[in-house]
Amino acid sequence: MATTSTLTDRLGRPIRDLRISVTDRCNFRCVYCMPRDMFGPEHAFLPRAELLTFEEIARLARVFSGLGVQKIRLTGGEPLIRKDLEDLIGMLATIPNLDIALTTNGSLLPKMAGPLARAGLTRVTVSLDSLDDARFDAINDVNFPVARVLEGIEAAAAAGLDPIKINMVVKRGMNDVDVVPMAEHFRGTGHTVRFIEYMDVGTTNGWRLDDVVPATEMVDAIAARFPLEPIGSDYRGEVAKRYRYLDGAGEIGFISSVTQPFCGDCTRARISSEGKLFTCLFASEGHDLRELVRSGADDDVLVEAITGVWRNRGDRYSELRSAATSELTKVEMSYIGG
């Protein structure tokens, strides 16, 4: 198989990260991601036969690794509701030099953390938007308690998956009051909270620019309680702007994709659960890899197809974002994977 470590897109960006959605289903109904009135009992989720099998995912992962991908993140929907996910992790773990991460709502981690770690998972990111049960319930909309997510974080740490990243999406009026308490709770634990600006992904969450709490505002609020200083990024394509507490209690990050876009360094490709390749979170259409895989194409054909798509990539949605672009048709976050 060709190794094209120099594979870059039209803006000179290499392909380094691959996010794979393993299901479009979820056991939460977060109001900013899968609002219940759009994702109710009538919603047509993908039938099982449409999903890539573990063998198909592992094969694609191997091909992408040959093209320069160094990190794979499994996501969804909620990846841990895909049955036997640890078997997929085990298959991915046989690919050399590949970091295998997972983003989860944490609900199933208490029982899954051990098997996932043993299968070869390298890192986990747990989403948690509030430490207050009433507010967390109003967000997840399935009455899921904060304590169970915290238990999942502890289980992941005990299984050796630490340090853990905690993702908090901040939406004005929804949970902005939780920013400082969240920083306070995880200070000194070794886990890193990443505060995420609410984004206009998909078309169902009714996004408005007024709902976005700019990262600078969050930095100021936290620094007023716990003084901070910025630290440099670890690698090209790192999305979070990192800060450390001056008293040595650890670090936090801010993902400011709305107010300070980072498209210039975006090295991420995404594969939806039905095998479509997307070159931007805000794309409206993907490129069907499943059809190629199921038609019996050999690896060289896959390499050629993926190379063609990446070379042609010119996406920089966040840099072009405006009221008009937020009206465009885009795929849902729960489908493409965050």
Task: Map residues 98-117 to x or -, x wherever contact with ligand SF4 holds by CB under 6 A.
Answer: -------x------------
Residue 272's binding partner among ligand SAM, ligand SF4, none (Cβ under 5 to 8 angstroms by kind) is none
Indicate the residue among 199 and 293 with the shorter CB distance to ligand SAM: 199
User: Can residue 254 be called a binding residue for ligand SF4 (CB under 6 A)?
Assistant: no
- State the number of binding residues for ligand SAM (CB under 6 A): 20
The full length of the chain comes to 338
Q: Give which of 87, 108, 90, 107 is closest to 98, Cα–Cα.
A: 90
Task: Map residues 169-208 to x or -, x wherever contact with ligand SF4 holds by CB under 6 A.
Answer: ----------------------------------------
Q: Give which of 217, 126, 134 is closest to 171, Cα–Cα.
A: 217
Indicate the residue among 305 and 336 with the shorter CB distance to ligand SF4: 336
Which amino acid is located at 76 in the chain?
G
Distance of CA 86 to the CA centre of its chain: 18
Judged by CB under 6 A, the residue of 103, 272, 279, 318 near ligand SAM is: 103
Residue 186's binding partner among ligand SAM, ligand SF4, none (Cβ under 5 to 8 angstroms by kind) is none
Tell whether the torsion through CA atoms of 40, 45, 48 and 51 is positive or negative: negative
Q: Which of residues 190-249 bind ligand SAM (CB under 6 A)?
A: 196, 198-199, 201, 205
> In the complex, what is the shortest distance from the CB of residue 90 to ligand SAM, in angstroms, rounded to a whole number?
20
Q: What are phi and psi of 287, to 5 degrees?
A: -110, 125
> In the complex, what is the shortest distance from the CB of residue 113 to ligand SF4, in angstroms, rounded to a whole number?
17
Residue 316's binding partner among ligand SF4, ligand SAM, none (Cβ under 5 to 8 angstroms by kind) is ligand SF4
**Encoded tokens for 268:** 């991420």
Output the DSSP codes for 149-184. HHHHHHHHHHTT-PSPEEEEEEBTTTTGGGHHHHHH
Q: Which of residues 56-85 bind ligand SF4 (CB under 6 A)?
A: 76-78
Distance of CA 39 to the CA centre of its chain: 20
Which amino acid is located at 338 in the chain?
G
Output the DSSP codes for 198-265. ----SSSS---GGGB--HHHHHHHHHHHS-EEEE--SSTT--SEEEEETTSS-EEEEE-TTTS--GGG
> In the complex, what is the shortest distance from the CB of residue 247 to ligand SF4, in angstroms, rounded to a whole number?
32
User: Can residue 124 be called a binding residue for ligand SF4 (CB under 6 A)?
Assistant: no
Residue 267's binding partner among ligand SF4, ligand SAM, none (Cβ under 5 to 8 angstroms by kind) is none
Q: What are phi and psi of 281, to 5 degrees?
A: -60, -25
Judged by CB under 6 A, the residue of 18, 28, 113, 128 near ligand SF4 is: 28
Tell whether the torsion through CA atoms of 283, 267, 240 and 59 is positive or negative: positive
Residue 67's binding partner among ligand SF4, ligand SAM, none (Cβ under 5 to 8 angstroms by kind) is none
User: Can residue 104 be called a binding residue for ligand SAM (CB under 6 A)?
Assistant: yes
Residues in contact with ligand SF4 by the rule CB under 6 A? 26, 28-30, 33-34, 76-78, 105, 127, 257, 262-263, 266, 268, 280-282, 315-318, 334
